Amino acid sequence: MKRIFKVGENVVCPSHGVGIVSAIENRAIGGEVKKFYVINILSTNIKLMLPVECENSSGIRGIVDLKGVKEVFKVLKSSPDGGQKEKNDRWTKRCRRYSDMIKTGSPVSLAEVTRDLLHLSTKKELSFAEKKILENARNMLVKELALASSKSEDEINRQIDRIFFRV
């Protein structure tokens, strides 16, 4: 069943992160009038227009619930999946894999990327590309977790730092 988002509702757009539905507008496209979500992405102030009928294929979804927040922290606290394979992968291959994971917009995938790269950063200096991917994944994850748990982004960042850096 298709879910209709309401104006004022927080949503997650894969590759863009958390946004808010600021309007639902009708637009004429090719002689047909179609309904569009107008979504303002919180971290970049980008304004997206997404056809309501393409909502499922676009991957747009609601914010994770509290059960999902617990699952994300469980993933963050788990051991990295990469193991020896991760060490042997070239950074370009890792970056491609992590970028693909971020594009899904899944909170678990974002947590896995964040976990793996934070863990790797405790072992070696990350490449510039790895640092940017980590920053992107972590920022998207933190914004969503903060909204879902009614905490500040600073508090969520501190929780993540405590997991990896024992601060």
pTM, whole model, 2 decimals? 0.85
Predicted pLDDT at 84: 46
What would the pLDDT profile of 25-54 be if each residue is shown by its tens digit?
999 888 899 999 999 998 888 999 998 887
**Domains present along the chain, CATH in parentheses:** 9-62 (2.40.10.170), 66-164 (1.20.58.1290)
| pLDDT digit string, tens, across residues 93-113 | 888 999 999 998 899 999 999
Q: Residue 105's pLDDT is what?
A: 87
**CB half-sphere exposure, 123, CA atoms < 13 A:** 11
Give the span between the Cα atoms of 50 and 41, in whole angstroms: 12
